[in-house]
Structure 1
Amino acid sequence: MLIGYARTSTQEQKAGLNGQIEELKALGCDEIFTEQVSSVDQREKLDEAIRFARKGDVLVVTKLDRLARSVPHLCRIIEALEAKGVGIRIVAMGIDSTTATGKLMLNVVGAIAQFEREMMLERQQIGIAAARDAKKFKGRVPTARRQSERVMQLLATGMPKAQVMKELKISRASLYRIVQEQTATVSWRSA
């Protein structure tokens, strides 16, 4: 059985996801798992696809970057699939791990992809440093802190902290940081 996996990083990339799904259908995938999450986030549908696969099946992806974020991650996926007797096919590269050449190519391509990602991150850091030097770099906008007032309002109503975090989509650390900062501001003003 051919099992397809399609992924895009954001919800806004509907066309990209639909394109992958259509390609996987055209290739004859009997089951297709899809998700829209960043490559660094937990990918539940990928895990589900791997659990679903049985001996003799082949997991099919359109491109390598839809599947793995690094060589170690790619190796873990391949190991999990091989342990189950499942192959992997990367359409854009013509790689099929059910062959010896395909396995070799998969490892080489994974190493190149990781190298390119590390080079991109290095170029990004150089760009950030240049922007800082030119006093043009502002950094990421702290999204949770912009909600400080709303956090304190909800807590003042008696809403449990877990519910506040869920409603405002902020982490536990952000919530406690906001409470600590707001409490210190109130204490300082009182003095």
Structure 2
Amino acid sequence: MLVGYARVSSSGQSLDVQLEALKDAECEEIFAEKRTGTSTTGRTELNNALSFVRKGDTLVVTRLDRLARSAADLHRIVRQLTEKGVAFQCLQQSSIDTTTSTAKLLLGVLASIAEFEADIRRERQREGIERAKAAGVYKGRKPTVDAAQVRALRNQGLGGTEIAKKLGIARASVYRALNAGN
């Protein structure tokens, strides 16, 4: 059985192109989610797909970066599939199919390139933020905690836990707000 997995990083992105490609590839079951690919943590549909596949099945994705953004995660997932007797196929990157040694080698190379691209993207983003901060353009996101309100509640004699509950924020946020005033 061909089992598809599709992923986009944010709720504003569309899964339509991936879902169509997986249907065209004749996947009988498709798991899809809108979650970041930087980690496998919290990716419920990926875990469901990995639990669903059985010996003789093939897990299909449209691109490697839809499955994992790091070489370590990709290799771990592929190893898990191999141990279950499940093949892996990637439609866009030279139709990677882990049943051949050459494809396994190519998978490793492409995984390393994908991880390198993600690192470069993070570097460029960090550099851009630093330049914007230096120019006074970027000031970060708006505060989500009203520090004055936190201090006022503290002055009324409330403790950190009570303030956090009253404002619906984490205790750590209360203490950060209080320390920021020092």
TM-score, normalised via structure 1 length: 0.76
1:2–1:58 CA contact under 8 A, matched in 2: yes
1:148–1:178 CA contact under 8 A, matched in 2: no
1:56–1:86 CA contact under 8 A, matched in 2: yes
Q: What is the aligned counterpart of 2:170 among 169, 175, 179?
A: 175
2:2–2:58 CA contact under 8 A, matched in 1: yes
Query: In the alignment, what sits opposite 2:62?
Result: 62
Q: Over the residues paired in the alignment, what is the CA RMSD in angstroms?
A: 3.1
Deviation track 1:25-81 (CA, whole Å, cap 9, x = no partner) reads 111101111111111352011011111111111100011111102001111111111
Query: In the alignment, what sits opposite 2:124?
Result: 123
Deviation track 1:63-113 (CA, whole Å, cap 9, x = no partner) reads 111110200111111111111111111111121111111111111000001
- d(CA) in 1 for partners of 2:12, 2:113: 28
Give the unaligned 5+ runs of structure 2.
154-160
| Residue 139 of structure 1: how far off its partner (Å) | 1.7
| Residue 132 of structure 1: how far off its partner (Å) | 2.2
Q: Which has the higher helix share?
A: 1
More deviation, 38-47/20-29: 38-47
- d(CA) in 2 for partners of 1:39, 1:176: 29
- d(CA) in 1 for partners of 2:90, 2:140: 37
> Compared with structure 1, are the counterparts of its residues 181 and 90 closer, same or farther at alpha carbon in structure 2 (3 Å cutoff)?
closer
- d(CA) in 2 for partners of 1:36, 1:147: 33
- d(CA) in 1 for partners of 2:147, 2:26: 48
- d(CA) in 2 for partners of 1:85, 1:178: 47
Letter aligned with residue 54 of structure 2: R
2:147–2:177 CA contact under 8 A, matched in 1: no
> Compared with structure 1, are the counterparts of its residues 122 and 4 closer, same or farther at alpha carbon in structure 2 (3 Å cutoff)?
same
- d(CA) in 1 for partners of 2:148, 2:36: 27
Query: In the alignment, what sits opposite 1:171?
Result: none
Deviation track 1:123-164 (CA, whole Å, cap 9, x = no partner) reads 112212222222222123343x25996xx99xxxxxx98xx6
Query: In the alignment, what sits opposite 2:35?
Result: 37
> Compared with structure 1, are the counterparts of its residues 182 and 114 closer, same or farther at alpha carbon in structure 2 (3 Å cutoff)?
closer
Letter aligned with residue 125 of structure 2: Q
Letter aligned with residue 21 of structure 1: L
TM-score, normalised via structure 2 length: 0.79
Letter aligned with residue 75 of structure 2: C
| Residue 12 of structure 1: how far off its partner (Å) | 1.9
2:147–2:178 CA contact under 8 A, matched in 1: no
